[in-house]
């Protein structure tokens, strides 16, 4: 469980460099994206309505992000196999990573936290997007993201880097 007293990394801070599992079974670190701006978005679960719309929106804009020289990476706690199924089922063109380890990147960012729905408490991912500069510092962050129009807003911010 996330320590609410811990300071969450914010704008100007380096992105914690904690390994995640890539869909091919290898690992990926935020530092692997250094050298150009990057967008890392965290979402709750593959193949759910909001997460599907968000991943499809980033996929649709992937050529525009590439033209702007910006890398993309979507992250959830789902397994690499679930990610591969999600990519295939939804026709996604964006890379996804698994942050399932306790003490992983989402824990370090304070976005894997206790949630409550209908009086029931559970651990869950807060939908959050990070725009990193070419040095791996957080240039902008969107917390508790509303999906509609989000990918477009992130693209505009990324173009301004």
Asked if residue 30 lies in contact with residue 105, where contact means CB atoms within 8 angstroms, the answer is yes
Closest to 87 in 3D by CA, of 156, 153, 22:
22
Catalytic residue among 33, 51, 97, 141: 51
Closest to 96 in 3D by CA, of 130, 46, 48:
46
Rounded Cα distance between 145 and 161, Å, is 21
Known active-site residue 51: yes
Tell me the HSE value of 141 on the side-chain side, using a 13 A CA sphere: 20
Catalytic machinery residues:
51
């Amino acid at each position: 469980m996330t320590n609410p007293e811990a300071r969450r990394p914010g704008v100007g801070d380096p992105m914690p460099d904690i390994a995640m599992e890539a869909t091919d079974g290898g690992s990926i670190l935020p530092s692997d994206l250094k050298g150009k701006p990057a967008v890392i978005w965290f979402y709750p679960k593959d193949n759910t309505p909001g997460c599907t719309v968000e991943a499809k929106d980033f996929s649709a804009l992937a050529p525009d992000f590439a033209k702007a020289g910006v890398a993309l990476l979507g992250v959830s706690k789902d397994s690499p196999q679930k990610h591969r199924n999600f990519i295939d089922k939804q026709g996604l063109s964006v890379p996804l990573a698994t942050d399932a380890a306790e003490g992983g990147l989402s824990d370090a960012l304070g976005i894997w936290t206790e949630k409550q729905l209908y009086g029931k408490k559970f651990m869950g991912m807060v939908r959050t997007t990070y725009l990193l500069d070419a040095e791996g510092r957080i240039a902008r962050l969107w917390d508790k993201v509303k999906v509609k129009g989000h990918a477009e807003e992130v693209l505009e911010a990324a173009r301004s880097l």
